[in-house]
Amino acid sequence: MIEWLNKNWLSMIAPAIVFLSFIVVAIWARRSLFNYLNGLFTKLKWEGSEILLQTTKAQFFQWCIILGAYTAILVSTLSPQGKVLAGRIIGTIFVISLTWTFLSLAVKLLHQYLRKIKAPFPFPTALIINAVRITFIVVGVLILLDIWKVPTTPIVLTLTIGLLVAVLASRDEILNIFSGFQLAHGDLIKIGHYIKLESGEEGYISDITWRNIQIKTPDDKIIFVPNSKFTKTTVTAYREPLKKATQAFRFYTRLHIKELTGLKAKNLSELVNILSDVPDSVIYYHTHNFIEEYQYLIPQPANEFALWVSDVIGDEILAEKLSNIDTFEFSTIGELRERIIAVINDGLSTRGDGRTAFEGREFHFIKSVSVVLTTPYIAHDLREFVEALRKVSINSLYFHIFESRLRLHRGVNDFSIWLQDSLDERELADKIAALDPYNYTIEDLRSIIIQLIEERIK
């Protein structure tokens, strides 16, 4: 070894001097360059300056040493093959260091700036950072392969094909993300806004992501609308939410089961006698339930007793008086029963029993058995209420508008009570309570109530 050094020490001096010179220059250059950059960034007040200086300061010295080692090899007495091999090794170290440094710098800067982007929903920071990492790594690997003279054309072609396949496979996802950027910069919608899509879906926006918009419908269902579809459809946005009710309104419905009592009357005397003893459910069936079944008729018969007296008994005067009884004026079935009996007794006292019904045309008393059921519709404000109102059945409307008078004994409907007690909408509650059911069908009432609420919302 000593003998080899004695023979070759002169050939080692030049590379050593070159390498040491690079170290000295590196120390001076790093101090001068970074002092200059620090002063420049202080004037510019760039927020990313500290990250840039901290990430590259130590690495800059390493790069100078690597460059010095490479230059020393070039001026050394190594064989051409040795210089090529050593140059590739040093180049590999340099590319790995450079790639790692810039990758770290890019990730830190992205973390700092992406979190400052104002958007109505969380920014996909992880997705963007992972894409940047993959890009740096792929570029670094390709440079390393080129340094070692490995053919990169097949690899680039394979990567290109793979990228195209990935893009085609995830084109919907990519479109959703780009649409998410559009929504973020447009500031069109926010969580809590009430919207209605062209396709009919509507409700409050409960969540927004870079992939989809989540809409909570009035019946508490969650609809996921892809961002790409959302940006292409017509959207009616009502912006800020309305005042929330202190207690949500739950829509109910009910079904009526008919049950024959076996009782029948062939004249007015038998009719009034049986009316005095039958259960309230019988009176209900021949009055309220009868109106519901014939609600589409204008003018509609007020009760089935009036219809039978007119068609079978032929007493038009009594039938007219029975028809004039306002079924919805009474808050109890007992009061309604007494009024009907009083009108029939008045007719008997003035005109007698009149005609007797032929066999088969007697008045058959039927009992109504009600079954109350819940619906999926719940309203927390006027907008949810009016949208649910469009969807509930006629049975549900009848239950809340008419049957509530009997159920609550307050002479007012459920809607008006909720509007007044839970939303403090006294004027709107009074307008709905004042609607005369004799002037409209159930569907007409639905339309009018919806119109009144929509005018209030606007």
Report the alpha-carbon distance of residue 292 to residue 1 in Å, rounded. Answer: 115
**The pTM of the whole model exceeds 0.75:** no
pLDDT, residue 165, reads 73
pLDDT digits (tens, 9 = 90+) for 25-64: 878 888 888 888 888 877 877 778 888 888 888 888 888 8
pLDDT, residue 342, reads 94
pLDDT, residue 176, reads 66
Which segments of the chain have a pLDDT < 50? 298-299
pLDDT digits (tens, 9 = 90+) for 233-284: 777 776 555 778 899 999 999 887 888 999 999 999 999 999 999 998 899 8
Report the alpha-carbon distance of residue 436 to residue 221 in Å, rounded. Answer: 35
pLDDT, residue 120, reads 52
Report the alpha-carbon distance of residue 450 to residue 425 in Å, rounded. Answer: 15
pLDDT, residue 341, reads 93
Cis peptide before 299 (omega within 30 of 0): yes
- Cβ neighbours for 85, distance < 8 A, ≥ 6 positions apart: none
Report the alpha-carbon distance of residue 367 to residue 286 in Å, rounded. Answer: 8
**Which three-class secondary structure state does DSSP give residue 432?**
helix
Q: What kind of architecture, by CATH, is found in domain 188-237?
A: Roll (2.30)
pLDDT digits (tens, 9 = 90+) for 292-320: 776 555 445 578 999 899 999 988 999 99
Q: Are strands 363-379 and 222-226 parallel, antiparallel or unpaired?
A: unpaired
**Which three-class secondary structure state does DSSP give residue 195?**
strand
Q: 311-320 — which CB contacts under 8 Å span 24+ positions?
A: 312/355, 312/357, 312/358, 312/361, 312/363, 313/267, 313/268, 313/354, 313/355, 313/357, 314/354, 314/355, 315/268, 315/347, 315/351, 315/354, 315/355, 317/347, 317/351, 318/268, 318/343, 318/344, 318/347, 318/351
Report the alpha-carbon distance of residue 323 to residue 300 in Å, rounded. Answer: 9
Contact 418, 245 (CB under 8 A): yes
Task: Tokens 């809340």: give the residue.
Answer: 400
Torsion of CA 57, 61, 63, 65, to 10 degrees: -170
- Per-domain boundaries in the chain: 2-168, 188-237, 249-457
Query: What is the residue-wise DSSP string for 72-127?
Result: HHHHS---HHHHHHHHHHHHHHHHHHHHHHHHHHHHHHHHHHHTT---SS---HHH
pLDDT, residue 375, reads 93
pLDDT, residue 298, reads 46
